Amino acid sequence: MSITQESELLGMQRVSEAVGQTLKLMSQYAQPGMTTKELDEYGGAILKEYGAKSAPYETYGFPGYTCISVNKEVAHGIPKNARVLKEGDLINIDVSAELDGFWSDNGGSFVLGKDIHHHQPLVNASKEILKKAISSIKGGIKIADIGFLIESEAKKRGYKVIKNLAGHGVGKSLHEQPEDILNYRVKSNRERFKKNTTVAVETFIATKSTYADTLDDGWTLVGNKGGFVTQHEHTILITDSTPEILTRSNGIWD
């Protein structure tokens, strides 16, 4: 979305605050013994307090207010009463919503309780790489160069990236141009980030897999070669210098 007036920026700030706070509070609320359905209902109630509507529920008919993926699930995990969270689980929560005609998207992975399965280094890598990528974005920078940065930083740490999941433009709808802010470089892509536009930038850092496959439920994504994947995502406003992080209230870098 191109921001052309103050009211549009305020609209994006409001919806971004809603999804950011929802993600933060859900992450804090999660505990062993809770079901992912309980956690999702909690998140849905927070969005409702803001007057916001769940983007996946409204747009795609997704069976939940938020996407909650556990352990070897990469993304789009369906909240379920049968899915009980356990100590040491690797959890990803993705929250996107619409408020007053504006849309925003954010997500984060974290270890529940004690890191008994040693997932924290992967979580840290995803957060650090996203921070480095976003700090490198400004008007005129090639999208492919950010993809190269993300994949290069992952390789330095001994990890891979998921190649068929990507960040995207966001604002007047959930997915806009640019459609593919990938985690690797496509040399033929000459598209550049544009000043005063809003985009959702996300990392998909993996231990083994390079592609995400859809399970029979039609939603849940898992890695093609197994292992684990962490995702972190912010919606940002691109400027001439450091981007404005609209979803900063999610606290994923705190």
Helix (H) or strand (E) holding 102: strand 102-111
Going by the annotation, the residues of the binding site for a divalent metal cation are 94, 105, 168, 202, 233
Q: The tokens 């960040």 sit on which residue?
A: 167
3-state secondary structure of 136: coil
Going by the annotation, the residues of the binding site are 76, 94, 105, 168, 175, 202, 233
CA separation, residue 177 to residues 107, 142, 170, 199, 200 (Å) = 20, 14, 8, 9, 11
- CA dihedral (62, 234, 236, 51) positive or negative: positive
Going by the annotation, the residues of the binding site for substrate are 76, 175
Tokens of 94: 């993705």
Residues counted in the chain: 254
Measured in degrees and rounded to the nearest 5, phi and psi for residue 102 equal -115, 150
**Nearest one of 148, 147, 146 to 135, comparing CA atoms:** 146
Please check whether residue 34 is in contact with residue 42, taking contact to mean a CB–CB distance below 8 angstroms.
no
The residue type found at 235 is T
Please list, in sequence order, all residues whose beta carbon lies within 8 angstroms of the beta carbon of residue 218, skipping any fewer than 6 positions away: none
Give Cα 65 distance to the centre of its chain: 15
